[in-house]
Amino acid sequence: MFLALEAQDLVRAAVKGGLVIFALLNVVPVLVWLERRISAYIQGRVGPNRVGPAGLLQPLADAVKLAFKEEIVPKDADRFLYYMAPVLAFFPAAAAFAFIPFGPEIVRDATPEGATSRIYELVCDLRVQPSTLGVLALLATSSLGVYGIAFGGWASNSKYPLMGAVRGAAQMISYEVAMGLALVAVIATVGSVDLQRFVSDQARPEGLRFLGVDVPFLPNWHVFHQPLAFLIFVCAMFAENNRLPFDLPEAEPELGAGYHAEYTGLKFAMFFMGEYLAMITMSALCVTLFLGGWSGPGLHLVGHAGTLDPAVVGVFEGALGVFWFSVKVMAVLCFYMWVRWTLPRFRYDQLMGLGWKGLIPAGLANLFLTAGAMVL
């Protein structure tokens, strides 16, 4: 019986994982097209408009071009690490998404006749890998991406990629400290590291309750309870994904392309897709921690539709949760692109100074204030 249940759980996780990976891989070309259109609009340019209507087939043309490009390997490269680097840049970002809840838990009423209290049975948890240690597991998985950058720069046996790899490793490790402090403050507020618990804590139908006062016209999101932690997390998010204004590991005017300068064809495509997958994962984590996750208008009303079959209600709740989650994640991704084409690149000393002298002390102060507020 136990083995049958375990096999059933594995099949369910494999199906959900396959669907999520398929969705993510199809979202990446959309993001590439959207970034080009947004950058063109911000800078007063035309943008892609030749391949397909409004340039919609441009990502497909790019994929074909990369697939048929010549594969060049530097003569003195460490071949094992050279080929491993794109894999380590791609898969940790995709695997980390497995712990993100992209919809509510779908349950059914399993109360036996004559029972005095209701018993609910979990039918489906809308995340690939349900885990009570969701935040910790996600951070442990996503942090492996730094090895892709480090291996890519070292294995190429070239000075500029090596410089980009050193910058990238130092930057990501430094800003993980600030991100961790922001996360600890939110974890202390919720009292759990289960990401599904983070969302349910924010899904208060009555609206925001702040310092004992109800503010019904605002949602009960953690961005209002922990605004400083949110700002620290957003800054660290940009640095973790090597996005402007913190893209010093690539820095085209200085390093050419940084750690992946010696990569071509599909190996470069894996680095490219890994960056966008990491953006999606970090955006989803930001939405889950601070912006209500899958919660949204209408979800708390679904269960009161007494004329509907409970199975229909569960499916409707799941679909509505996935919709609100997708809308919020796309909004954060558009914010990524807006910032990239608006702000200039930081100098490296400014980048590290902001992390160690600005965000980390601010994170410690915020954690101290959070602990004091909880005690009082």
Amino acid symbol at 261: A
The 3-state secondary structure of the chain, one letter per residue? CHHHHHHHHHHHHHHHHHHHHHHHHHHHHHHHHHHHHHHHHHCCCCCCCCCCHHHCCHHHHHHHHHHCCCCCCCCCCCHHHHHHHHHHHHHHHHHHHHHCCCCCEEEEECCCCCCCCCCEEEEEECCCCCCCCHHHHHHHHHCCHHHHHHHHHHHCCCHHHHHHHHHHHHHHHHHHHHHHHHHHHHHHHHCCCCHHHHHHHHCCCCCEEECCEEECCCCCCHHHHCHHHHHHHHHHHHHHCCCCCCCCCCCHHHHCCHHHCCCCHHHHHHHHHHHHHHHHHHHHHHHHHHCCCCCCCCHHHHCCCCCCCHHHHHHHHHHHHHHHHHHHHHHHHHHHHHHHCCCCCCCHHHHHHHHHHHHHHHHHHHHHHHHHHHHC
Position 329 scores a pLDDT of 95
178-201: average pLDDT:
90
Residue 171 has pLDDT above 50, yes or no: yes
Q: Are 288 and 195 in contact (CB under 8 A)?
A: yes
Count Cα atoms within 13 angstroms, Cβ side, for 217.
Answer: 0
Closest CA to 282 of 139, 132, 131, 126: 139
Q: How far apart are CA 124 and CA 103, in angstroms?
A: 10
50 φ, ψ (degrees, to nearest 5): -105, -45
Residue 74 has pLDDT above 60, yes or no: yes
Longest dimension (CA), the chain: 76
Which residues in 305-329 are b (16+ Cβ under 10 Å) and which e? eeeeeeeebbbbbbebbbebbbebb
| Tokens describing residue 269 | 């495509």
Position 282 scores a pLDDT of 93
Position 310 scores a pLDDT of 57
Percent of the chain with pLDDT strictly greater than 90: 28
Q: Are 69 and 264 in contact (CB under 8 A)?
A: yes
pTM of the entire predicted model: 0.89
Closest CA to 337 of 73, 43, 98: 43
Please count the residues of the chain: 376
| Tokens describing residue 48 | 């892609």
User: Where residue 288 falls among pLDDT bands split at 50, 70, 90?
Assistant: very high
Q: 99-144, pLDDT tens digit by residue?
A: 998 888 776 666 666 666 666 666 677 788 877 788 888 888 888 8
**Of 97 and 5, which is predicted with more confidence?**
97
Would you call 230 exposed, middle or buried from its count of C-beta atoms within 10 A (0-12, 13-18, 19+)? buried
Q: How far apart are CA 165 and CA 149, in angstroms?
A: 5
Position 47 scores a pLDDT of 86
